[in-house]
Amino acid sequence: VAALLALSFPAFAQTPAMAPDIPAKFDTVIPNADYIKRDVMIPMRDGVKLHTVIVIPKDAQRAPIVLTRTPYNASGRASRNISPSIAATVGQGDETMVGEGYIRVFQDVRGKYGSEGDYVMTRPLIGPLNATRTDHATDAWDTIDWLVKNVPESNGKVGMIGSSYEGFTVLMALTDPHPALKVAVPMSPMVDGWRGDDWFHNGAFRMPNLGYIAGQTGAKSGGKPLATGVYDDYEGVLRAGSVSAYAAKFGIDQLNFTKKLFEHPAYDSYWQHQALDKILAKKALKVPTMTVVGYWDQEDIYGAYAVYGALEPKDTANDKNFLVVGPWRHSGVNYEGSSLGVFKFTGDTALEFRRDVMQPFLDQYLKDGAPAADTPPVLFYQTGINRWQKLPQWPVAQQLKPIYLQNGFKLGFDAPQEGYDEYVSDPAKPVPFVPRPVRMGDGNVWKPWLVSDQRSVSDRTDVLSYMTEPLKAKVQIAGQTMVNLQAATTGTDGDWVVKLIDVYPDEVPSQPELGGYQLPIAMDIFRGRYRNSLETPSPIPANEVQRYRFALPNANHVFLPGHRIMVQVQSSWFPLYDRNPQTYVPNIFYAKPSDYQKATLKVFHNSALELPVVESK
């Protein structure tokens, strides 16, 4: 009877007790959703299919598309929340554009998450380093071609946006853009992994990369974090010895990208061929591009300015190359931007930018019939006085003004003096980049670290701190500071960390915790072996004065009256950067324990920071 009932009335059918309870594919219905989501596999020219998630506002017609190509899980990027609301579904940074009816597309790059093919870290363009038929430019082209032909709700116009690695994929698409790619917003793009973005800064290696490589290349869908076994990374990294010893400890020396890094410690052709500013400098500028970066971007502080600078000479009609710098951490542009660390700004600067600057810019090129946006060539949040500044170009300062490290740890614009200061740099006790215990994986430490109070190290005996008197008039800088150190070491190699700092007055009544705060304005590290050539390192002659000249990150800052300007010099920044053994070895990644030696450093008083001072009229 039961069988007969089930046949005539399916509602009476019984689910066998042992029917498996997890279906092959299932999604709960999201009632009353104001969007639809499509999961598709888009074929590339070599037959490899890339997993793509398309989020379409309900009832969309002739809507623009904004595409992000990611190594960080397209499905995850398209489901911040499980919600009927499209604004809650996409990322915080996308809320404005989906509110304007945009279609949002996320794609897994080749070889990651749902996409087929091989993954190569920041895959180089077809050329000397890539003998295949595909790269991020061809994959972006094929994807855009498919989208404009297969998303009937679209108007056939596509923009690309993305931060960091996702900013790198935007720039890659610009090397040979599809005609439907109408506008691009690369944010904090990874541009040159050796000069000053993720992997190295001026040849000094950034240790958190090892965990990142394990996560990104340990598995297609995200590898596991390192089991460091210590709470304080300072201790854990120090104990291991060299970078290669640390990598071997966790087995990550077996990963190909680790090997590639270890094989290319200098700025050789491997890095030069991949430097996207150099690549883009040789291409036509076809697509309006707004490059965006955080002032205190702790991961990719170099690339955005380098790309803007490379494109600027091509922008003859002054309508295609734009730069925006906000008071943000890395990728902070896509989140809440009213503060960073203890510093408060004039409201949610990130939302202001996205809503009032980026959205009209996207609309101009993507929305049918939208008016031209009033986009300034450069929009820069001036720190110190906290206000957005519209500028015709960057940098503002055309000349540099030296400020000298003087006797008695003073800092002054008057003539250089005789004399020097010295300190002992001991690789067994490197200077921590943030107070110990150092938790590199803790976002609360990592994200705001570039605004952290430098008082934590200013009185160490291996840190030299030079300071002006309280300023009587404001000092405005707008551009890149050049470091010009005249220095000697008893070792045969060594690192220089130089910091330009704004020292707050002893008391700040409106925000007492800022009293005496030492706020980093621009800081960087330089590996001494590269002083004569970034490509070919050479030992430092012991006890001979050498010149070390390198640029600090861009700054647009006003040192206010009553504040002081400070410069700090030290020889380690640990464990963010690997230690220099201070004995010259062919490849520092493989330094032996006996290579790590104390050295005495002398910094002479004809050393200066050449500041991009904007003279008051």
**Residues that bind ligand PG9 in the complex, under the rule CB under 6 A:** 122, 164-165, 168, 190, 198, 212, 299-300
109 or 497, CB closer to ligand PG9?
109
CB 594 within 8 A of CB 585: no
Q: In this complex, which beta carbon is closest to ligand PG9, that of residue 332 or of residue 402?
A: 332
Q: How far is the CB of 166 from ligand PG9 (least distance, A)?
A: 7
- CB-wise, 293 or 310, nearer to ligand PG9? 293
Considering beta carbons, is residue 225 or 435 the nearer one to ligand PG9?
225
* 3-state DSSP helix/strand/coil % of the chain, to nearest 5: 25, 30, 45
**Between 405 and 434, CB nearer to ligand PG9:** 434
Sign of the four-CA dihedral 265, 271, 277, 282: positive
Nearer to ligand PG9, 100 or 300 (CB): 300
Residue 610, both tokens: 């050449």
**Smallest gap, in angstroms, from Cβ of residue 210 to ligand PG9?**
12
Q: What DSSP letter does each residue of 506-560 carry, written as one string?
A: S--TTSGGGTT-EEEEEEEEEEGGGSS-SSS--PPPTT--EEEEEEEEEEEEEEP
Min dist. Cβ of residue 164 to ligand PG9 (A): 3
Under a CB-based contact definition with an 8 Å cutoff, are residues 353 and 373 in contact?
Answer: no
Tell me the closest approach of the beta carbon of residue 300 to ligand PG9, in angstroms. Answer: 6
Give the shortest CB-297-to-ligand PG9 separation in angstroms. Answer: 9
**Residue nearest ligand PG9, Cβ-based:** 164
In the complex, least distance from residue 197 CB atom to ligand PG9, rounded to whole angstroms: 7
How many angstroms from the chain centroid is the CA of residue 165?
8
- Give CA–CA dist 367/389, Å, rounded: 27
Give the list of residues 6+ apart from residue 21 with CB closer than 8 angstroms, or none. Answer: none
Q: Which is nearer to ligand PG9, 121 or 357 (CB)?
A: 121
210: alpha, beta or left? (left if phi > 0; alpha if psi -120 to 50)? alpha
Q: Closer CB to ligand PG9, residue 233 or residue 502?
A: 233
The amino acid occupying position 384 is G
C-alpha to C-alpha distance for 515 and 494, rounded to whole angstroms: 34
Question: To which residue do tokens 């720190």 refer?
Answer: 383
Min dist CB 130 to ligand PG9, Å, is: 17
Quote the least distance from Cβ 121 to ligand PG9, whole Å. 7
CA gap 73, 75 in Å, rounded: 6
Contacts of 20 by beta carbon, 8 Å cutoff, 6+ apart: none
Burial of 507 (0-12, 13-18, 19+ CB in 10 A): exposed
Supply the minimum distance, in Å, between the C-beta of residue 283 and ligand PG9.
Answer: 21
Which one, 122 or 452, has the nearer CB to ligand PG9?
122
Shortest spacing between CB 418 and ligand PG9, in angstroms = 44
Helical segments of 220-373, H only: 233-240, 243-249, 256-263, 269-272, 276-281, 303-311, 349-353, 359-366
| Spacing of C-alpha 589 from chain mean position | 23
Smallest distance from ligand PG9 to CB 189, Å? 8
Q: Which is nearer to ligand PG9, 220 or 390 (CB)?
A: 220
Question: Does residue 336 sit in helix, strand or coil?
Answer: coil
Give the residue ranges of DSSP H helices in 64-135: 74-77, 86-89, 95-99
The residue (of 164 and 349) whose beta carbon lies closer to ligand PG9 is 164
On whether the CB atoms of residues 118 and 217 are closer than 8 A, the answer is: no
41: three-class secondary structure by DSSP: strand
- Closest approach of Cβ 382 to ligand PG9, in Å? 26
If the CB atoms of residues 190 and 311 are measured against ligand PG9, the closer one turns out to be 190
| Complex with ligand PG9: residue 299 or 524, whichever CB lies closer | 299
- Nearest-angstrom CA–CA distance, 339 and 327: 8
Q: Which one, of 359, 307, 311, lies nearest residue 187 by Cα?
A: 307
CB of 265 to ligand PG9, least distance (A): 17
Task: Return the sign of the alpha-carbon dihedral for residues 121, 182, 156, 370.
Answer: positive
State in Å, rounded, how far the first CA of the chain is from the last one. 98
Please, which residue, 212 or 590, has the CB nearer to ligand PG9?
212
Closest separation in Å from C-beta 8 to ligand PG9: 59
Q: How far apart are CA 349 and CA 326, in angstroms?
A: 7
